[in-house]
Amino acid sequence: MADTTHGEGRPGPSLPPWLKKTLATLATVAATILGLLFVTFMIGRVMPIDPVLAVIGERATQEQYNQTFRDLGLDKPLLVQFWIYVTDVLQGDLGKSIRTGQEVTTDIARVFPATLELATLGTLFGVVLGVPLGVIAAVRRGSWIDQLARFVGLIGYSMPIFWLGLVGLLIFYGILGWVSGPGRLGIFYQGIVEPITGMLLLDSALRGEWAVFRSAFSHIILPASLLGYFSLAYISRMTRSFMLEQLGSEYVITARVKGLSEWQVVWGHAFRNIRIQLVTVIALAYANLLEGSVLTEIIFAWPGLGQYITTSLLANDMNSVLGGTIVIGTIFVAINIFSDLLYRFFDPRSK
Amino acid sequence: MKKSFVAAAVASFLAVGLAVPVVAETPPNMLVIANRIDDIKTFDPAESFEFAGADVSRNVYQKLVNFDPLDLDAGYQPQLAESWEISEDGKTITFTMAEGHVFASGNPVTAQDAEFSLRRAVTLNKTPSFILTQFGFTPENVEETIVATDDRTLVLTLDKPYALSFVLNCLTATIGGIVDMETVMANETDGDMGNDWLRTNTAGSGPYKVVEWRPSESVLLDLNPNYGGETPAMERVIVQHIQESATQRLQLERGDIDVARNLSPEDVAGLEDAEGVKIVDELRGRLMYWAANQKKEMLSDPKVLEALKLATDYEGMSDSFLKGQYTVHQAFLPRTFLGALEETPYSFDMDAAKAALAESAHPDCGPIKISVRDAQERLDIGQSLQNTWGELGCDIELIVGTGAQTLDRYRAREHDIYLGAWGPDYPDPNTNAGTFAVNPDNSDEAGATGLLAWRNAWGIPEMTEKTLAAVVENDTDARREMYRELQREHQQVSPFGVMFQQIEQNGMNESVENFVAGGATTAVSYWVITK
């Protein structure tokens, strides 16, 4: 009794700020993913598609239907089903895919590296070309390069990726033969490199299998350029508008009056100040590609996450869809945390 | 400076691309195929029931009796069983196993393996098990009804006499695949008879074995080193999952693949003049039909049904958007099946259709909803029906859904008209007769969702009897005639409008010979292919 009154009204032992921050982040992550799962789970259950038929096909008997209905746990109340699913997930068990007959974790370990590789290369392409293009377009406003940047942006926004992909394949693979066709690797190179990360470029480089690396590169270059082009269109446009805003501000005029070189004004002052906004834009573009670009993956027969989730959704293979949702949710949260960290690095005020 | 940086980046990307050698021909002992294979869920012959799965299974597992790919019309031939005898009462079939067949593991194929495989398929009770259980095998009685009396003798005891051709035809289906008992049972978990393991691994005595399967990506088959037959020319077969027809065409033109299996009519037309490429047409077993729910009063009027059948533009569709992919066919047995009927009593005749409708109890027709899944060819057919039936005076609405959605409604008997496709489950006429023309109990409680006649609430006790009589007729000529007669009647009175039979158009390298997709009766056979 005395002990409890003793503690009342006093602040508890305070946690160190870094721990508080970490715990808060973890709680946000958990809540976000749980919420995502709940919504996806419920959508899956109210969709007018019968998950049992997805498993057994249309020729099955009623008895087989009932058996599978029970095996899938569909005879239990929705919330109980959700609870069972979440407890399994917490133990690292994402369940089995109806469509592939394999563990969802195995499936994702197979498809995610393919998407990660493609998205990373695509984003790299978009950043390396898009940022300078945007900056130059802003500096030389109205010049031919500005027009070019706008034209590139317009095409990137308005051209269907499906069409552009097919045309790209036709020209660079079909007619010119500069790059390899669909898929991730030539048939002769399959199974040569023991996977480490699942990303073929990285694995073949790590193992020193340069022939495999070249084959993988010649397969990825076209889809990556295509995705990169769309990132480039977005990133260069955003960079241009951020830069224009900065270039019109007083400190830039002051810097110019002080006699700083154009290079210092643009890169040393204006560009420094758009880094934070740019990080957000790039992170979002990257996350977007990591979700998987379904159409690109279909055209290039790229066995990635986007195609996996879409095909699973159409087959009402909810374990796979939910597994994919967890991955995407985690990516978004991770990228958010990462850009938060970068903010603090770039912006002294947030320290 | 900035400009040169951009230029350098572009140049470096192009340079690496340019430097990559592109191989434009597949090796002579390797067959590379582009196909849609994302329907493969399992390789277990007791469970596998999908097209791409059947293609793999046929090349990996042998059966007691099987089709010769180079002479499909000859019907079933000895394979693992060299001969068979049927008892006088017609209920017992005794198979004598051939010698010299060996599983990929090195184990010889014995009657015990056959006993195990068939018992296992019945006991596991997966979707295709009905192909065997229709002969009276149950998980409870398999120990008495499927028995290996010694290493070379297998005895099957049926619940009643059936036409021998019916039983043997069923044994050529995927579910009749004989698995290696020792290997499978060594991989059993929780009493699943190796089901989990066989989903992703194979243990057969066929010409090939699966080396690697990446779902929705590729299947890699290598020769079974212990295969008892003549060594196939293709030592390795790679099937790549390529979704897009245009992509498959490009690969074929580049010489990166030998066979493209999902070419659209446009791409087939585009390849006609291509050098080094040929198109091979093959009639398959899939039918396209519409069916009218007999719970709906108007649609149960025979004159309305006649009008709808007459107001369907069969030729118009097969000559335009279905060109090369479907041929007009109006009976429930696909051509090349025993008893198939080639007569097409209906052709597009709007006057006759209007006359029939005028004689019906619903001369103004009325609202009709057509359930159609969101696949291009079906949407096209649905729209054609909407046009011509609309011309007839009916108010047609297309209800478009995913495959699973439309199927749900169909099985629940909630549709008006269902536009669907049906493929045979096993190469015997009963596979279609038993669903289009059998419905012993039409009540909702019967829940016979597997029967198309039931799904359309079409109660047909008399026709059911006729269909079942054909199943036990042992004189093949008489049996053929029974099915023909049945289909003639079915064409006239049924609520089914069978319209088309599928033609598969495979594009392939000119050098590829003996590519047989399996006709209407079976699946693809890689072991006879040369190039």
Query: Taking the CA of residue A219 as centre, how many other CA atoms within 13 Å lie in the half-sphere pointing to its CB?
Result: 28
pLDDT exceeds 70 at position A56:
yes
Buried b (16+ CB within 10 A) or exposed e, B246-258: bbbbbbbbbbbbb
| B130 vs A contacts (CB less than 8 Å) | 59, 61
Listed residue (A96, A131, A126, A116) closest to A334, CA to CA: A116
The CA distances from residue B334 to A40, B171, B328, B433, in Å, are 43, 19, 11, 11
* Assigned CATH for B30-231+510-528: 3.40.190.10
Residue A334 binned pLDDT confidence (cut-offs 50, 70, 90): confident
List, for residues A21-48, the tens digit of each pLDDT value.
788 888 888 888 888 888 888 887 777 6
Please state, rounded to an integer, the average pLDDT across all residues of chain A. Answer: 84
> Of A50, A52, A56, A61, which to mutate for an interface test with B (greatest number of B Cβ within 10 Å)?
A61
pLDDT exceeds 80 at position A167:
yes
pLDDT exceeds 80 at position A54:
no
> What's the CA gap between B86 and B70, in Å, rounded?
28
Sign of CA dihedral B339, B342, B348, B350: negative
Residue A5 binned pLDDT confidence (cut-offs 50, 70, 90): very low
Share of chain A above pLDDT 90, in %: 21
pLDDT at A149: 85
Locate B239 and state its tokens. 């099937």
| A308 vs B contacts (CB less than 8 Å) | 216
In a shared domain, residues A201 and A88: no
Per CATH, is B283-504 categorized as 3.10.105.10?
Answer: yes
Of A49, A172, A311, the CB nearest to B404: A49
In a shared domain, residues A297 and A216: yes
> CB A174 to CB B449 under 8 A?
no
Q: Where is pLDDT greater, at A56 or B389? A: B389
| B448 vs A contacts (CB less than 8 Å) | 62
- Give the number of domains in chain A: 2
Contacts of B63 (CB under 8 A, 6+ apart): B79, B80, B171, B172, B176, B177, B178
Residue A13 binned pLDDT confidence (cut-offs 50, 70, 90): low
Query: Taking the CA of residue A214 as centre, how many other CA atoms within 13 Å lie in the half-sphere pointing to its CB?
Result: 13
pLDDT exceeds 60 at position B1:
no
| A182 vs B contacts (CB less than 8 Å) | 240, 242, 247, 251
Residue A249 binned pLDDT confidence (cut-offs 50, 70, 90): confident
| A140 vs B contacts (CB less than 8 Å) | none
In a shared domain, residues A72 and A189: no
Q: Where is pLDDT greater, at B90 or B496? A: B496
In a shared domain, residues A41 and A79: yes
The CA distances from residue B375 to A179, A282, B278, B381, B402, in Å, are 32, 37, 27, 10, 8
pLDDT at A351: 55
A182 with B217: CB under 8 angstroms? Answer: no
pLDDT at B4: 46
**Cβ of B214 under 8 Å from any chain A Cβ?**
yes
For range A286-299, the mean pLDDT: 84
Share of chain A above pLDDT 70, in %: 94
- Residue for token digits 């900035």? B2
Contacts of A325 (CB under 8 A, 6+ apart): A36, A37, A40, A309
Answer yes or no: is A262 within a domain: yes
Please state, rounded to an integer, the average pLDDT across all residues of chain B. Answer: 91
> What's the CA gap between A243 and A140, in Å, rounded?
11
Contacts of B403 (CB under 8 A, 6+ apart): B373, B374, B375
pLDDT exceeds 80 at position B413:
yes
For chain B, how far is it from start to end, CA to CA, in angstroms? 55
pLDDT exceeds 80 at position A316:
no
- Residue for token digits 């230029």? B7
Of A57, A181, A183, the CB nearest to B250: A181
> CB B6 to CB A133 under 8 A?
yes
For range B53-66, the mean pLDDT: 95
Q: What is the ipTM of this complex?
A: 0.80
Residue B22 binned pLDDT confidence (cut-offs 50, 70, 90): very low
Q: Where is pLDDT greater, at B215 or B370? A: B370
> Of B140, B199, B216, B242, which to mutate for an interface test with A (greatest number of A Cβ within 10 Å)?
B216
Answer yes or no: is A98 within a domain: no
Contacts of B2 (CB under 8 A, 6+ apart): A132, A135, A136
pLDDT at B497: 97
Answer yes or no: is A15 within a domain: no
Share of chain B above pLDDT 70, in %: 95
The number of C-beta contacts closer than 8 angstroms across A and B is 161
> CB A99 to CB B18 under 8 A?
no
pLDDT at B124: 94
Q: How far is B151 from chain A (nearest CA, A)?
A: 33
> CB A53 to CB B253 under 8 A?
no
pLDDT exceeds 50 at position B219:
yes
Closest-CA residue of B relative to A294 is B243
**Cβ of B24 under 8 Å from any chain A Cβ?**
yes
Residue B373 pairs in a beta bridge with B401
**Cβ of B200 under 8 Å from any chain A Cβ?**
yes
Angle between helical axes of A210-247 and A200-207 (0-180°, round to 10): 130
Write out the E strands in B232-374: 236-241, 259-260, 277-292, 326-328, 367-373
> What's the CA gap between B36 and B56, in Å, rounded?
13
Listed residue (B397, B395, B400, B410) closest to B372, CA to CA: B400
Answer yes or no: is A30 within a domain: no
In a shared domain, residues A159 and A272: yes
Query: What secondary structure does DSSP assign to B181-236, as a single string?
Result: HHHHHHT--TT-TTHHHHHH-----SSEEEEEEETTTEEEEEE-TT-SSPPPS-SE
In a shared domain, residues A163 and A77: no
**Cβ of B255 under 8 Å from any chain A Cβ?**
no
Residue A350 binned pLDDT confidence (cut-offs 50, 70, 90): low
Answer yes or no: is A171 within a domain: yes
pLDDT at B12: 46
Residue B243 binned pLDDT confidence (cut-offs 50, 70, 90): confident
**Cβ of B218 under 8 Å from any chain A Cβ?**
yes
> What's the CA gap between B520 and B285, in Å, rounded?
4
Answer yes or no: is A18 within a domain: no
> CB B22 to CB A301 under 8 A?
no
Which range has the worst mean pLDDT, B24-28, B71-75, B500-504?
B24-28
In a shared domain, residues A181 and A306: yes
User: CATH number, domain at A307?
Assistant: 1.10.3720.10
B516 with B525: CB under 8 angstroms? Answer: yes
Write out the residue range of the structural domain in which residue A274 sits.
112-350
For range B347-371, the mean pLDDT: 94
- Which residues belong to CATH 3.10.105.10 in chain B? 283-504
Q: Where is pLDDT greater, at B287 or A49? A: B287
List, for residues A170-196, the tens digit of each pLDDT value.
999 988 989 998 889 888 888 788 888
Residue B20 binned pLDDT confidence (cut-offs 50, 70, 90): very low
pLDDT at B155: 97
Residue B9 binned pLDDT confidence (cut-offs 50, 70, 90): very low
> If contacts are CB pairs under 8 Å, which of residues 108-147 in chain B contact chain A?
125-130
For chain A, how far is it from start to end, CA to CA, in angstroms? 44
- Residue for token digits 């209906």? B346
B101 with B228: CB under 8 angstroms? Answer: yes
> What amino acid occupies position B286?
R
In a shared domain, residues A263 and A185: yes
In a shared domain, residues A62 and A141: no
> If contacts are CB pairs under 8 Å, which of residues 34-53 in chain B contact chain A?
38, 41-42, 49-50
Answer yes or no: is A20 within a domain: no
In a shared domain, residues A198 and A303: yes
CA dihedral A215, A219, A224, A226 (to 10 degrees): 140
> CB B404 to CB A101 under 8 A?
no
In a shared domain, residues A188 and A55: no
> Of B32, B129, B238, B244, which to mutate for an interface test with A (greatest number of A Cβ within 10 Å)?
B244
For range B350-370, the mean pLDDT: 94
In a shared domain, residues A267 and A307: yes
The CA distances from residue B87 to A301, B118, B289, in Å, are 54, 20, 40
Closest-CA residue of B relative to A132 is B2
Sign of CA dihedral B23, B26, B32, B34: positive
Q: Where is pLDDT greater, at A304 or A62? A: A304
Answer yes or no: is A101 within a domain: no
Residue B329 binned pLDDT confidence (cut-offs 50, 70, 90): very high
pLDDT at B318: 94
> CB A129 to CB B244 under 8 A?
no
> Of B219, B236, B247, B261, which to mutate for an interface test with A (greatest number of A Cβ within 10 Å)?
B247
Which range has the worst mean pLDDT, A312-321, B160-169, B421-430, B433-442?
A312-321
Residue B24 binned pLDDT confidence (cut-offs 50, 70, 90): low
> CB B24 to CB A177 under 8 A?
yes
Which range has the worst mean pLDDT, A49-63, B17-31, B255-269?
B17-31
pLDDT at A292: 67
